[in-house]
Amino acid sequence: MSMLFYLGIMLLGGLLFGRLAKKVGLPNVTGYLVAGLIVGPYVLKIIPADAASSISMVSEMALGFIALSIGAEFKLSYFREVGVRPVVIAILEGLCAMGAVVCGLLFAGQTLAFSLVLGAIASATAPAATIMVIRQYNANGPLTKTLLSVVALDDAVGLIAFAVSFGIARAMDSAQFSLASILLSPLIEIVGSLLLGALAGFVLTKLETMFRSNSNRLSLSIAFIFLMVGLSAMDFTVAGADCGFSPLLVCMMLGTVFCNICPLSDDLMERADRWSTPMLAVFFVISGANLRLSVFSQGVLVFIGVVYIIARSAGKYCGARWSAKAVGCDHTVQKYLGIMLLPQEGVALGMCVSAQALGADGELIRNIILFSVLIYELVGPVATKESLKAAGAITEKPKEVLERRERKLAEAEPKELLERHKERANKK
């Protein structure tokens, strides 16, 4: 079958299940994930495993748009208002999650190297599901703004923690410590990604002035996202250390610089969000298709996975609550932020690829993360929605908006149906 056929099935299935999810009060993203799970290679097998894994380009592009949206929230006016609060929260809650997982796994009888790597992965949070829920319900307020900032910074914290922990784990296996592998690689990746994104943001802003049409400006912005995601796939070596770029950090910095210096950024970002909606739906269907139910058949894996989920959840919640209180955040931020940091997917799975260099431990780490992703991605969006609702960040659509929609639908009906409605009304 053509890959376009599979993409069509994914988008159609995602939209239908998203609609069903909305009917029962669940976020659309939960419907997308369930759709992928059902049509994927492990249930109905409509989408084969090779097709689900080979459409990685869509996932990469979707992550680029997600990172751009997060970067757009980093306005200088916002940081003048909140200061370094998001930075402090991101570091402390990430370290708390890492510490809780390391202690939990050591208590469960696992090795220090194994526990350190899984603990580092635990610090990362998946921004995609969170962004999707916020968009669907037009959530706004101090909780939403803090969440977007912390989620973005989580990736940087996670990358550093993983690089250091992974370097220590490999050194324990080989009895050789390499300063380059432990410190230099993550430093170059983070700094290089931020510099590349900043440069791209300046260039994009300059080029935007060359075009008068909003359509052309939107096309230019999309082209830059594609370019940055493509460039981020490059690998290089510095002083003996293997380095690369993080597409999330690059596109995040692109969005930050662009939205701070381009006067047309707000309008263009709104248009880009609309354009990217189908892509994000496919992204989550693909994520659902790659969730493996077979992990539940392995007793040891399930046990370690449960320990990991409980420890990480406790670390995220407590770390976020304590740090938010310490920096003087609103009580709604203190109470609900940690719950909304639970989803985990893209960045964590990327770390698992590197972790496979640890051999048998690396394969076990990958399966544990797949197990946790299955739980977190199905539960996380619902928890995020309920937290936003409880915090008052979600407002129901006004009655007049709903009535206007029904009126437009009625006006669009064929003339004969309208006449029948009139006849029935006259009889009554």
pLDDT at 12: 92
Residue 74 and residue 285 in contact, taking contact as beta carbons nearer than 8 Å? no
Residue 106 to residue 112: CA distance in whole angstroms: 7
Query: Phi/psi of residue 238, each to 5°?
Result: -130, 120
User: Where do the CATH 1.20.1530.20 domains begin and end in the chain?
Assistant: 58-277+295-379
Angle CA 101–105–106, to nearest 5: 115
User: 411 by DSSP, 3-state: which?
Assistant: helix
Q: What is residue 126's predicted lDDT score, i.e. its pLDDT?
A: 73
pLDDT in tens, the chain (428 residues): 678 888 898 889 988 988 888 787 777 777 888 888 888 887 888 888 777 667 767 777 877 887 787 777 777 776 777 678 888 898 999 899 999 999 999 998 888 888 888 888 888 887 777 777 887 788 887 888 888 778 777 777 777 777 677 767 776 766 555 555 556 666 777 788 889 999 999 999 888 878 878 788 888 888 998 999 888 877 777 666 666 777 777 888 898 898 888 887 877 777 777 777 788 788 878 877 876 776 667 778 888 889 999 999 999 999 999 998 988 888 888 888 888 888 876 667 667 766 766 777 777 887 788 778 778 877 888 888 888 888 777 765 555 555 565 666 566 555 555 566 556 655 55
Q: How many whole angstroms separate alpha carbon 400 and alpha carbon 30?
A: 28
Assigned architecture for domain 58-277+295-379: Up-down Bundle (1.20)
Question: pTM here?
Answer: 0.69
Q: How far apart are CA 374 and CA 348, in angstroms?
A: 13
